Amino acid sequence: MKQILLIAFASLFSWGTLLAQQTVSGTVTDDQGEPLIGATILVQGTGTGTITDFDGNFSLEAAPDATLVISFTGYETRTIEVDGRSRVDVMLSAGIFLEGAVVTAMGIERERRELGYAITTIDGSDLAIARSGNALDALSGRVAGVRINSSSGTAGGSSNILIRGISAFGGGSPLFVVDGVPVSNSAFAGDRNQIISGGADVGNRAGDLNPDDIESISVLKGASAVALYGQRARDGVVVVTTKRARENRLTVDVNTSLRFASPFRLPDLQNEYASGNFGQYDSDNFLNGWGPKISEVEGQNFRQFPYDEERPLVAYPDNVKDFFETGVTFVNNVSISNRGESGDFRLSYTYFDENGIVPGNELNRNTVSINAGTAFTDNLRARAIVNYVRTEGLNRPRQGSNNPNILMSNVYLLPRTTNINDLKNNLRNAQGQVLGVDGNNQVNNPYWIIENNPFSNIVDRVYGSFEVNYDHNDWLTLTGRLGTDFYQEYRRNITAKETLQRVNGEFEDRGIYRRELNSDIYATVRKRLSDDISFTGIVGWNTNEIYFQNDRTFAADLLAAGVYNPANALSTNIERFESTRRLVGGFFDVGFGYRDFLYVNVTGRNDWSSTLPKDNRSFFYPGVSTSFIFTDAFNLESDILSFGKLRASYAQVGSDEAPYQLDFLFSPLSDVFTQFVSNNTYPFGGEAAFSGPATLPAGLSLKPQSQNTLEIGAELQFFRGRLGLDVAYYNTLTEDIIVSVALAQSTGFEAARRNAGSVRNEGVEILLSAIPVRTSNFEWETVVNFTRNVQTVETIAEGLDDLALTSGFSGLSIRAETGGSFGLHGAGWERSPDGQLVIDRTTGLRVPGARTNLGDIFPDYQIGFINRFSYGNFTLHALIDVSQGGVLFSRTVSGLRGAGLAEETLENRGKIFIDQGVNRVTDSEGNVTYVPNETPVRSMQEFWSNYTNNNNTEGSVFDADYIKLREISISYNLPREWLQRTFIREMSIGIEGRNLLLINSSVPHIDPEASFFGPSLVGGAANIEFYSVPTARSIGGNVKIRF
């Protein structure tokens, strides 16, 4: 702490040294003479710098012999000698985005031309467009090879990220690195049973990253790019660089947004039929629309909620819509920064408040960030970065099934004759008893759940680093970095007394603590060995330790209502899980450049893991990459071909196992999961219970997984940067995957842990950028990225053709199948040899068949289409996201159809309907033939009940294709002359929106991106939906001011 204070103190008082410098002013323009707003001007070799204003002007203090480095996103970077001048005007040529520095492994900046692998960098300004509660959402559609799934519309909900597919059977999430330090993106939502039986979306820790504090995000995809980070980076790395002070004057920035939200998509419902069975009204048979036609029973009175009197049936077409509220999101960021010759600091505070579209659901987040650095001498520099985040999530809705607190099923399945205001105003009957929405008093009123049974969490998190750099001479730098990321989360899940199906009440408290410590010591050499040959080398040592603790208290059978203290429960169970994982590694990165057009890089890392057997815990993985700028080598640069580069890389990455998987681990039990009733708790009858592993431990034979990646690519620029193309092909093979292989039940185990299986991911990524139109006051810039990844499960284990990865209800599962991709499996319809549906000759209903592969969980390809139009001081930005291929399972759609509430269930009611297909006919000799079906169904209620029955999965599986208008923003920069007489230096106002339009989708009623399992399970990559909270559409305004 003393060191941090010293840096901050030194930074605050370091600007007096500037007085000895001369003032250098100038203007930065493009090749059309238009000013570039926000271009960066740095004094080379110092911490002094500034950015241009709305007119492209800049002014800073610099020595007469200083060198200025001028850069701007999408333009070439220029280096200019001051040479005693007081004015330096600069013209930058547009479009050379392949040049310039990017942040790579270990947070080290490298010239893009040197890199032999694919890397995509997103500017922080793009992340701040329509700021979301989860920073990952801003990457959707922007990066080739990256797929983002939002788990729900819960305020502060989680998002799942994949880079180039899944490489192992246990799923895969990239490593997040902030300012050179690995940080957590955990999304612990419980095990599979807890998630599908009333789990809440508690968010993932990447959501703690504040877009207002991010300077850039670099996505490292290939093994060569991530080898220096070790085994945890096998699924890619998301490198986040936070903002520092950019101007050598005191600067105050304010960024404020106010947005309003509504459900992005709600079901299309029928409003003609009431609840009941086969046309007869039945108030006890809640959650359906198979009763009488409302128009045919006019003048009759019926028993309806709140069951105090009989009255006529009236449809309320908007009762589901009216349950949701207008969400309001307010985001305000204030930052103060300054920099001088020997120091800089930036202090930022962000307040994020979101009232969700579900009543009572809120997210409140406060973020404080400090980034300060100083130069103690010309050779010794230090920097401290500290981020504190406090997140409070209130009333997070539960999702799934088999839990009385599932909210969305109780809303979506409301009878069309239920007035939502009656539900809101009648939680109890006249006798004071809790009133269910059905006549049998078995289904909880959604407003009872909201007001009495909240699921809430609070997270306190600190992450940051302290770094010291020592320049031994002009070519050798020594760096030491110590980083940490720790958070403590408290969750409370309440089921109040009198809750239907849990009348005695219960609650669960969960405390989660995670601490990660990381240290790096490395030396960097940058030296030109001759006029033709340059050398860059890094050698270092890394230590990483992760401690995790999960405490759970479950209390049932409460004595006094509203008192959530374990002492108020007849049954209390407490459990704790702890783990520590340590990884140490040595690494090197050696690179040679020849005449600045040919580069070769060799990397290597050796890790020692605490989770592997002693004889196998050390493993080495090498890598090599090369880059060849052929336009420079052969002097091919012209007005047509401006830049050309070829690249190639090959690398290997190893990985270990989770802690404590090598031997038998016994844990005391607190309860046991049961499907349809309350869980049984322990101790039971005064006796404790312990659980042993259902999976036979791997023992000392376990060895590291191995991943090998080959990547080749090309980067081209045409017409002086007006047209750019970046193409990459990759082939990744992961072998010796650690997997649980099923065993015969007679062994006493369900599976055995071992090295078995291999998965290949092969794909193509294309990035096309263009400036089709540019005039003196108008510019159109467009970027299109294309991704296609093909996953193939090459082997699983001897004698095993498929492997269950995770499962839902009633036979729904995600499985790996030899020769194919990860697929969605479940019972399909029986079909004849020529593929026709088999219809039961007696009932006219489709016949369920055996378990089958219903489709891949991954899309065939994805496209992101970004357009930016600039006219004068106006800028319009739009992002369209396209996904083609893959399948989705929806329990919401299944439930609506089976209940006769979906609009399509109106078709053929009261009519004769014969389903297309064939009847299977067996003669007396056992010969089977198929004849066209001529049997009508007895009722559409029977048809849809069979179609959506849990014994069949295929009826609720859809193509997951979609086209979305993901985000749009319109901004206006106020002319500088308007602000000259004020204390405001720059100001812009704008309108912004997210998830504005579903242009095309094959999925009815819901958002086709729904992902119920969340990031904590492999199923989070799949589009599987179980009464999930609908995602939100938001639109609002934004104001940015610089003082």
Residue 409 host element (H or E) = helix 407-412
Query: What does the pLDDT read at residue 8?
Result: 40
- pLDDT for 283-296, tens place per residue? 776 668 999 999 99
Confidence grade of residue 970 (pLDDT, cut at 50, 70, 90)? very high
Is 287 within 8 Å of 280 (Cβ atoms)?
A: no
Confidence grade of residue 94 (pLDDT, cut at 50, 70, 90)? low
How far, in Å, CA of 869 to CA of 778, rounded? 7
Confidence grade of residue 1 (pLDDT, cut at 50, 70, 90)? very low
- pLDDT for 655-681, tens place per residue? 888 888 888 888 777 767 665 556 667
- pLDDT for 321-354, tens place per residue? 999 999 999 999 999 999 887 899 999 999 999 9
Is 769 within 8 Å of 724 (Cβ atoms)?
A: yes
Lowest mean pLDDT among 14-23, 523-532, 1022-1031: 14-23
- pLDDT for 230-267, tens place per residue? 778 888 899 999 999 988 889 999 999 999 999 999 99
Distances (CA, A) of 103 to 240, 242, 870: 9, 11, 28
The contacts of residue 43 (CB under 8 Å, 6+ apart) are: 49, 60, 62, 63, 66, 67, 68, 69
883-911 burial string, b = 16+ CB within 10 Å, else e?
Answer: beebbbbbbbbbbbbbbbbbbebbeebee
Query: What does the pLDDT read at residue 2?
Result: 40
pLDDT of residue 440 exceeding 50, the answer is yes
How far, in Å, CA of 973 to CA of 37, rounded? 10
Query: What does the pLDDT read at residue 105?
Result: 63
pLDDT of residue 9 exceeding 90, the answer is no
How far, in Å, CA of 328 to CA of 306, rounded? 31
Among residues of the chain, what percentage have pLDDT more than 70? 92
pLDDT of residue 225 exceeding 80, the answer is no
Higher-confidence position of 789 and 167: 789
223-258 burial string, b = 16+ CB within 10 Å, else e?
Answer: bbbbbbbbbbbbbbbbbbbbbbbbbbbebebebebe
CA dihedral 608, 611, 617, 619 (to 10 degrees): -60
Confidence grade of residue 39 (pLDDT, cut at 50, 70, 90)? confident
Closest among 999, 964, 986, 790 to 879, alpha carbons compared: 964
How far, in Å, CA of 774 to CA of 777, rounded? 8
What tokens appear for 364 in the block? Answer: 């409140």
Is 469 within 8 Å of 477 (Cβ atoms)?
A: yes
Total-model pTM: 0.87
CA-based Rg of the chain, rounded to a whole angstrom? 31
How far, in Å, CA of 387 to CA of 667, rounded? 36
What is the amino acid identity at position 204? N
What tokens appear for 175 in the block? Answer: 């490593």
Query: What does the pLDDT read at residue 12?
Result: 36
How far, in Å, CA of 718 to CA of 704, rounded? 45
- pLDDT for 260-286, tens place per residue? 999 999 999 999 999 999 999 987 766
Higher-confidence position of 924 and 933: 933
Crossing angle for the helix pair 940-947 and 891-898, nearest 10 degrees? 160
Mean pLDDT value across residues 1030-1035: 94
Give the end-to-end CA distance of the chain in Å, rounded to a whole number: 31
SS (H, E, C) 702-756: CCCEEEEEEEEEEEEEECCCCEEEEEEEEEEEEECCEEEEECCHHHCCCEEEEEC
Q: Where are the domains of the chain?
A: 2-94, 127-263+328-405+453-821+857-886+961-1042
- pLDDT for 756-798, tens place per residue? 889 999 999 999 999 999 888 899 999 999 999 999 999 988 7
- pLDDT for 454-490, tens place per residue? 999 999 999 999 999 999 998 999 999 999 999 999 9
Omega within 30 of 0 (cis) for the link into 659: no
Mean pLDDT value across residues 365-394: 95
Helix (H, G, I), strand (E, B) or coil at 994: strand
Closest among 320, 489, 491 to 407, alpha carbons compared: 320
Beta strand 251-263 pairing with 327-340: antiparallel
828-838 burial string, b = 16+ CB within 10 Å, else e?
Answer: bbbbeeeeebb
How far, in Å, CA of 213 to CA of 242, rounded? 6
Mean pLDDT value across residues 114-124: 86
Among residues of the chain, what percentage have pLDDT more than 90? 58
Query: What does the pLDDT read at residue 942?
Result: 95
How far, in Å, CA of 496 to CA of 428, rounded? 14
Query: What does the pLDDT read at residue 96?
Result: 44
Q: Name the average pLDDT for the chain.
A: 88
Query: What does the pLDDT read at residue 743?
Result: 76
Length of the chain: 1043
Is 559 within 8 Å of 582 (Cβ atoms)?
A: no
Q: Other CB atoms closer than 10 Å to residue 558's CB: what's the count?
A: 22
What tokens appear for 939 in the block? Answer: 């009722």
Closest among 184, 187, 164, 179 to 218, alpha carbons compared: 179
Q: Does domain 2-94 have CATH number 2.60.40.1120?
A: yes
pLDDT of residue 17 exceeding 50, the answer is no
Task: Name the one residue in this structure whose structure tokens are 């991530």.
Answer: 226
Higher-confidence position of 937 and 750: 937
Q: What is the DSSP letter of 475?
A: S
The contacts of residue 674 (CB under 8 Å, 6+ apart) are: 680
β strands within 278-397, DSSP E: 280-281, 302-303, 310-311, 327-340, 343-355, 362-375, 380-394
Is 48 within 8 Å of 341 (Cβ atoms)?
A: yes
Is 649 within 8 Å of 117 (Cβ atoms)?
A: yes
Beta strand 928-932 pairing with 962-973: unpaired
pLDDT of residue 167 exceeding 50, the answer is yes
Q: Does domain 127-263+328-405+453-821+857-886+961-1042 have CATH number 2.40.170.20?
A: yes
| 393 strand-pairing partners | 363, 457
Mean pLDDT value across residues 620-631: 93
Nearest-5° angle of CA 936, CA 939, CA 941? Answer: 135
Lowest mean pLDDT among 46-55, 433-442, 505-514: 46-55
What tokens appear for 126 in the block? Answer: 């793009």
Lowest mean pLDDT among 83-87, 289-293, 378-382, 770-774: 83-87
How far, in Å, CA of 755 to CA of 737, rounded? 5
Query: What does the pLDDT read at residue 15?
Result: 35
Is 659 within 8 Å of 581 (Cβ atoms)?
A: yes
Q: Is 844 left (phi over 0), alpha (psi -120 to 50) or beta?
A: left
Confidence grade of residue 6 (pLDDT, cut at 50, 70, 90)? very low
